[in-house]
């Protein structure tokens, strides 16, 4: 069974909030667009999306097995995930990121850019942790087939992510020079995005504490 309509609506809203926050993947994609143009940024977004599906499949298998072994353990991971989202927000407030492209960004073929996008995402342990933290917040074990629910939600997030990343790629290719000089805007964005992550973590934790199985 798929998640109920209210869970899907909450998931969709939370996903939109998260995708509006530029993370490492967005900075990587934007760097490609600035260094090689919009086509490279779009191909990179597809590669990142393909890598996301690998993490989704891993989360589906792992979280499903965890629920089968212990409902208490599943709930523990769920609340731990909410805490991790808050931690990500705090880290976002403390770190500085840049849209500057890397040196090799201007010297890669599109096929290589696609492959690198997959590898960058698959080998990022923070992405795996994110899905283990985020997806359980919207899964209802009472509806059965936890793995199918996670696969559905994760795939939906991946599709939304590719769409969002593609828009970033197009935007970056158009205003590349301005992004290179956007230090002040990045400073503001860091505080806004960090606050959004912390708020999301708190909201999911409170929602989970009031849910009934």
Question: In which band, very low, low, confident or very high, does the pLDDT at 51 lie, cut at 50, 70 and 90?
Answer: very high
| Contact (CB, 8 A) for 118 and 47 | yes
152-198, pLDDT tens digit by residue? 999 999 999 999 999 988 887 777 656 555 555 555 656 665 676 67
pLDDT for 64 beyond 50: yes
Per-residue confidence (pLDDT) for residue 155, from 0 to 100 = 94
Q: Where are the domains of the chain?
A: 5-207
Tokens of residue 56, six digits = 């989704």
Mean pLDDT is lowest, of 42-46, 64-68, 107-111, 200-204, for: 64-68
Two tokens, residue 15 = 């996903």
Q: Given this model, what pLDDT does residue 212 score?
A: 38
- Residue 137 is predicted with a pLDDT of 82
Mean pLDDT of all residues in the chain? 76
pLDDT band, residue 49 (cuts 50/70/90) = very high
CB atoms within 10 A of CB 98: 13
Contacts of 132 (CB under 8 A, 6+ apart): 59, 62, 63, 77, 81
**pTM surpassing 0.75?**
no
| pLDDT tens readout for residues 9-44 | 889 988 998 888 777 778 778 777 777 778 888 999
């Amino acid at each position: 069974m798929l998640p109920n309509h209210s869970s899907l609506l909450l998931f969709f809203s939370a996903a939109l909030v998260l995708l509006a926050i530029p993370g490492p993947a967005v900075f990587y994609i934007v760097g490609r667009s600035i260094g090689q143009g919009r086509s490279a940024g779009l191909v990179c977004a597809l590669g990142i999306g393909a890598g996301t599906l690998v993490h989704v499949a891993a989360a589906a298998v792992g979280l499903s097995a965890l629920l089968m072994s212990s409902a208490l353990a599943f709930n523990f991971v769920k609340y731990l995930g909410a805490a991790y989202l808050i931690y990500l927000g705090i880290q976002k407030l403390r770190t500085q990121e840049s849209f500057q492209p890397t040196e090799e960004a201007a010297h890669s073929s599109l096929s290589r850019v696609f492959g690198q996008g997959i590898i960058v995402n698959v080998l990022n342990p923070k992405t795996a942790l994110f899905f283990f933290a985020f997806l359980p917040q919207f899964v209802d074990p009472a509806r059965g087939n936890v793995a199918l629910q996670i696969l559905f939600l994760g795939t939906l997030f991946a599709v939304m992510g590719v769409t969002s990343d593609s828009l970033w790629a197009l935007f970056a290719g158009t205003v590349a020079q301005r992004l290179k000089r956007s230090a002040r805007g990045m400073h503001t964005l860091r505080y806004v995005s960090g606050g959004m992550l912390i708020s999301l973590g708190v909201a999911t934790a409170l929602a989970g504490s009031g849910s009934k199985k």
